[in-house]
Amino acid sequence: SGRLELTSRVAGFSVYVVPALLVIAVVVGLAVGRPETVPALLGMLTAAYGVGLSLVLPISVSLAYALPDTANPFALSSGSGMAKGLLTFAALFGAALITVPLQLLAFLAPDVWLWVGLPVGLLYGAGALLLGLRLTGPLLDRLEIIGLEGYVASEKLAIARHHLLGRLEQSLGLRPGEI
């Protein structure tokens, strides 16, 4: 199902990100000379991470972009770099905006935030992530994914042009070349 696929993506990504969040919280808490803030910082980072994931999931499903046609891991796909950057910035801005209630609590009641920051941040981030998974899973399920294992991208494109587009045009009542 779509929700399982997205949960797997999140789990794989989190293997790298969650330890980094922990390191960031510890380093910042120690750097400012207030190690007692580490749990609260981790709570805020976790909330922002969960909210960010919930915003990125629908973007990754509905606005997916083609990967480069190469085995080179450093190759870039051309033509949509600016759009990808803007989507990333929009998700970052959205995460900052959606976590404003937590930021206000941390700013207006810092002593309270030291005690509740970690559990509240974990719950806030987890709740946002679960909402994102619940809303985006069915979206991914509705997409038609055609698997053509064993073919390179140029062969897949040729198959689509020569066999699938004609059928699609015919089923939609279009003249050849209208798609």
pLDDT at 125 over 90: yes
CA distance 142 to 158: 25
State yes or no: pLDDT of 102 exceeds 90: yes
Q: How far apart are CA 93 and CA 81, in angstroms?
A: 18
Percent of the chain with pLDDT over 90: 51
Full-prediction pTM beyond 0.75? no
Q: How far apart are the first and last CA of the chain?
A: 30
Task: Please classify residue 32 by burial: count the beta carbons closer than 10 Å to its beta carbon, then call 0-12 exposed, 13-18 middle and 19+ buried.
Answer: exposed
Q: Write out pLDDT tens, residues 11-69.
A: 999 999 999 999 999 999 999 999 999 999 999 999 999 999 999 888 888 776 665 55
Q: Which residue spans within 30-125 are E strands per DSSP?
A: none
Q: Average pLDDT in the 122-139 region?
A: 93
Res 72: pLDDT: 62
Q: Which pairs with CB-CB distance under 8 Å and at least 24 residues apart come from 126-131?
A: 126/50, 127/50, 128/47, 128/50, 128/51, 128/53, 128/54, 128/98, 129/10, 129/50, 129/51, 129/53, 129/54, 131/54
